[in-house]
Amino acid sequence: MASPSNKAFPVSWDQFHRDARAMAWRLADKGPFQAIVCITRGGLVPAAIVARELEIKLIESVCVASYHDYKSQGELQVLKDIAPSIRAIGDGQGKGVLVVDDLTDTGKTAKVVRAMLPNAHFATVYAKPMGVPTVDTFITEVSQDTWIYFPWDMGLSFQEPIKKGSAG
């Protein structure tokens, strides 16, 4: 996505928590998972919720930066790789590892991480059509031209009506 569009999907903390728990329910019979790798930073919060719900104690992160200015997706950079101890789990290719992120947008980040752990199970809370093929599990699909506003990125402010000029 080039930049935030007029299609906004604001997500409250309550909604995000419910959606992340729904993802944990959906994942409960997909394991067993020995570890979670969260894609930072967006994957940190859902990974914590899923880890609690599925009683997964081993949590690792991989840091892939793509949104450098919160507006446009740029060149991908791996800022922190996955620990060797995670790569040693299962078949050495990710079997038994759950990869968690908040969103798959274009799927570029997921492709980079999937190359690191090709047999891992990939789960995101939200997915856009271009990113859907890169994940195994997601909860809510939104259109490609929708910008998701996560609760950790927002403050309280007035929101314009979707259809302006309507008599109230």
pTM of the model: 0.86
Residue 2: what pLDDT?
44
Q: What is the bridge-based pairing of β-strands 137-141 and 146-149? A: unpaired
Cβ-contact 88, 97 below 8 angstroms: no
Domain 33-144 has CATH 3.40.50.2020: yes
CA distance 127 to 52: 22
Q: What are phi and psi of 29, to 5 degrees?
A: -100, 10
Residue 105 is among the residues annotated as catalytic for this protein: yes
Catalytic one among 14, 29, 69, 102? 102
CB atoms within 10 A of CB 5: 12
Residue 91 is among the residues annotated as catalytic for this protein: no
Catalytic one among 14, 19, 29, 101? 101
Residue 29 is among the residues annotated as catalytic for this protein: no
Residue 65: what pLDDT?
85
99-126 per-position pLDDT tens digit: 999 999 999 999 999 999 999 999 999 9
6-40 per-position pLDDT tens digit: 689 999 999 999 999 999 999 999 999 999 999 99
